[in-house]
Amino acid sequence: MKARQTGIYIVVLALAAVLLLLAFAITPFSEITISSDAAYPIFIASLCAIFAIWIVVSEERKRKHSKPVKDEETEQTEDISPDEENQSVFNLDALVMMGMIAVYGILLVFAGYIIATLVFTAGAVTYLYNRDFKTGLLVGFISTFIIVLVFKYGFSVILP
Amino acid sequence: MALNILFVAMGVFAGIYVGAIPGLSVTMATSLLIAMTFSWNTELALAVMIGVYVGGVYGGSRAAILLNIPGAPSAVATTFDGYPLAKKGKAGKAIAISTMTSVIGSLVGLLALWLAAPLVSKFALSFSPRDYFLLTLMGLLLVGSLGGKSVPKGLFAAGVGLMLGVVGMDPISGLGRMTFGITELRGGINYISVMIGLFGIGEALYQIRFRKSKVIRQEVGAIRPPMKKLLQMLPLSLQSGIIGTIVGALPGAGGEIAALLSYDTAKYTVRKPRVPFGEGAYEGVVAPESANNAAVGGALIPMLTLGIPGDSVTAILIGALAVHGIRAGPMLMISNPELFNTIVIFLLAATVFLLIFGMMGIRLFAKLTEVPRGILLPLIIVISVIGSYSINNMTSDVIWTLLFGVIGYFMKCRDFPVGPLVLGLVLGPIIEVNFRRAVIGASGVGGLIGEIFTNPLSLVLFALMSAMIISQIVKSSRKNV
């Protein structure tokens, strides 16, 4: 849990620092006035930095006051509760889907909406629904057909 | 008009379905609707969106009562007594009561919208940039502080949203800011793409983690409205409806807070419930259900009169109106009063259909919620992509959507609320323009502070904002000790 928390702190503080740098880069420092185009972003980025520090402080205080979970079988105390484990960012299914989404984005540009959607839905349904390729392919074909029919011809929406 | 009403009915039906499925949110559904309704006329698009909004808020109670899983955040409080009632075999009665009181709540919100909106918009015309700045900032602070489990995380998300709103041309000088020389960024980040990414793809990615959870069959018998009980509950329903409307009208508060606050208030005002709260009291279903539906009408008040979204769904509605070339705000009521009347009629029609669909077709809805997530979630992603592309027909918008989908997933995993980020992005340009106009008009910050303390309205807004900040800091530090 400590490593997880440290990861959040690093991301939040780094993001706040980047926002501050970006805000200060808008106008040369000597030209910044309260009504200039950089004043508002600097103000907001500074607030973000304060909130980022507040997150670190409050999460640390929360962590210090929370009791460690005791494993009933081994009688050892664990740092991670089952609920927190379920909250893990690195969920395999979600990460695989993100990969598929990235491929989908590339296919959209190079192969067009219909082919990209067919490949994506067939692949995603196969992966998510019992690894059943036949169902995946069937759902891919039917859903792509219906989507194109409804959106392109029904709602006159221009597809990517 | 008949076609519009038909689309309201379809929207309510779809909304109840979406709301009844845990994990599918009304916000997600309305963001997807932008794609579908893009080429429609404004009234038709609004008809279906308002239908989904009203139906979705109510639909959340189905899963809350039958499965103890709130179908929507606004149905969290309904689980406290709804599920114990279902366990006692009174699910049918609980659903009937929730339907009838949702209708009462919706009517209270509608009445408030109809009466208050014209007055508020007239009053809003007298607002100076200084007042607008304070009001929008107050709304954003409220969203940030109420939006999730952690106050600083909500405020940080709102701050990042505000910074994203800075990207593009400076609203006063017209110079590019944080564009890195990329032409596509000069127009700013399209907030509809961001919304669709965060609420559509982000939510779908998040729900994938639970794809293996079994589809639970919802068992319920016939729904019979207990009229006698309903008459007894009428005062509580009206009281909760009023609370829901007021809370809903606060920028950013939304149905979830309204429902929880009404439930809490009911615990104090109902002196002797037949069954204690938390063990299956009908009052515990009446209060949150009346309030969350009343909050719909309430949330539309700041949206239509001030152009400030009352919650995430109204933020999307503002975007949907913008897609159709309509700008929400005080001028809308003056330049386009027919649109306001149309919205009121749609809301009324949606309430009637809520009653009809709520009392019928329970078995059909139960079946619909059994669609496997493994099939449903990829389809949500595919439709999200169409939604994003259809706004400007630009692939860069799709890339933003996919990117923010992934960001939304990480935010959800780490308990960072996404609502404040979206509202920050929507409200950011309004806050900045009004802040800078106020500063220029007052010849500097000193002048602006002086004006705030000499103008009664500004002073009230400033006092409210300060009280809110102090109370949140105190609450947060107490929570952590």
Closest CA–CA distance from residue B55 to any residue of chain A (Å) = 23
Q: Give CA–CA dist B378/A122, Å, rounded.
A: 9
B445–A47 CB contact, under 8 Å: no
Is B373 in contact with A128 (Cβ distance < 8 A)? Answer: yes
How high does pLDDT run on average in chain A? 81
What backbone phi and psi angles, to 5 degrees, belong to B168?
120, -160
Q: Which residues of A touch B201 (CB under 8 A)?
A: 101
Distance from CA of A117 to the nearest CA of B (A): 7
CA distance B461 to chain A (A): 20
Q: Could you tell me which residues are beta bridge partners of residue A23? A: none
Q: CB–CB of A55 and B40 under 8 A?
A: no
List alpha helices for B217-359, DSSP H.
227-249, 254-269, 283-306, 312-323, 330-335, 337-359
Chain A residues with beta carbon closer than 8 angstroms to that of B48: none
A120 and B155 within 8 Å at the Cβ level: the answer is no
Q: Scanning every residue of chain B, which has its alpha carbon at the shortest distance from the alpha carbon of A103?
A: B402
Residues of B in contact with A12 (CB under 8 A): 156
Could you give the CA distance from residue B21 to residue B72 in angstroms, rounded to a whole number? 8
Residue B333, CA distances (Å) to B44, B252, B338 in order = 19, 21, 8
Question: How much is the pLDDT for A79?
Answer: 46
**pLDDT score, position B195:** 81
Residues of A in contact with B200 (CB under 8 A): none
Angle between helices B76-87 and B254-269 (to 10 degrees): 60
Which residues does chain B have within 8 Å of residue A158's beta carbon, measured at their own beta carbons? 389-390, 393
**Global ipTM:** 0.84
Q: Do B382 and A37 touch (CB under 8 A)?
A: no
Residues of A in contact with B385 (CB under 8 A): 104, 108, 113, 117, 160
Task: Please indicate whether, in this complex, the C-beta atoms of B378 and A8 are within 8 angstroms of each other.
Answer: no
- Asked if the Cβ–Cβ distance from B406 to A98 is below 8 Å, we say yes
What's the confidence (pLDDT) of residue A81? Answer: 46
> From the list B386, B399, B480, which residue is nearest A58 (CB)?
B480
User: Which residues does chain A have with pLDDT short of 70?
Assistant: 1-4, 67-88, 155
Residues of B in contact with A105 (CB under 8 A): 398-399, 402
Task: Give rounded-to-5 percent helix, strand, coil for chain A.
Answer: 70, 0, 25
- The four Cα atoms B271, B90, B207, A129 give a dihedral, to 10 degrees, of 170
Distance, in angstroms, between B360 CA and closest chain A CA? 28
Residue B140 Cα distances to B159, B379, B438, B460, angstroms: 9, 33, 18, 17
User: What's the token pair of residue A88?
Assistant: 């893990």
For residue B282, give how far its alpha carbon lies from the nearest alpha carbon of chain A (Å): 31
Of the candidates A16, A59, A157, which has its C-beta nearest B386's C-beta?
A157
Residues of chain A found within 8 Å of residue B378, distances taken between Cβ atoms: 120-121, 124-125, 128
Q: What pLDDT sits at residue A80?
A: 45
Three-class secondary structure of residue A74 per DSSP: coil
- Beta carbons of B209 and A93 less than 8 Å apart: yes
Distance CA B130, CA B442 (A): 9
Tokens 């009791």, residue?
A67
- Which residues make beta-bridge pairs with A69? A78
Q: Name the residue among B36, B150, B211 with its Cβ closest to that of A155.
A: B36
Asked if B389 lies within 8 A of A159 by C-beta distance, the reply is yes
pLDDT value at residue A78 = 45
Tell which residue, B118, B73, B95, B108, has the closest CA to residue B305.
Answer: B118
Going through B63-183 in order, the beta strands assigned E by DSSP cover 168-169, 176-177
Measured between beta carbons, which residues in chain A are less than 8 angstroms from residue B163? Answer: 19, 22-23, 41, 44-45, 48
Q: What is the pLDDT along chain B (481 residues), one digit of tens a residue?
A: 788 899 999 999 888 887 777 666 787 788 778 767 777 888 888 899 899 989 988 888 887 787 676 667 778 788 888 888 887 877 788 888 888 999 999 999 999 999 988 888 888 778 888 888 888 887 777 666 555 667 888 889 989 999 999 998 887 778 888 888 888 788 888 887 888 888 888 888 888 877 666 655 555 666 666 778 888 889 999 999 999 998 888 766 677 778 888 888 888 888 778 888 888 888 999 999 999 999 989 888 888 888 887 777 888 888 888 888 888 887 887 788 888 889 999 999 999 999 888 887 666 666 655 667 788 888 888 888 887 787 777 888 888 889 999 999 999 888 888 878 887 888 888 888 888 888 888 877 788 888 888 888 889 888 888 887 777 677 666 655 5
Chain A residues with CB under 8 Å of B444 CB are 34-35
Residue A70 Cα, gap to closest chain B Cα (Å)? 22
CA B301 to CA B115: how far, in whole Å? 10
Backbone angles phi, psi at B307, to 5 degrees: 75, 20
Tell me which residue of B253, B279, B250, B277 sits closest to B266, measured CA to CA. Answer: B277
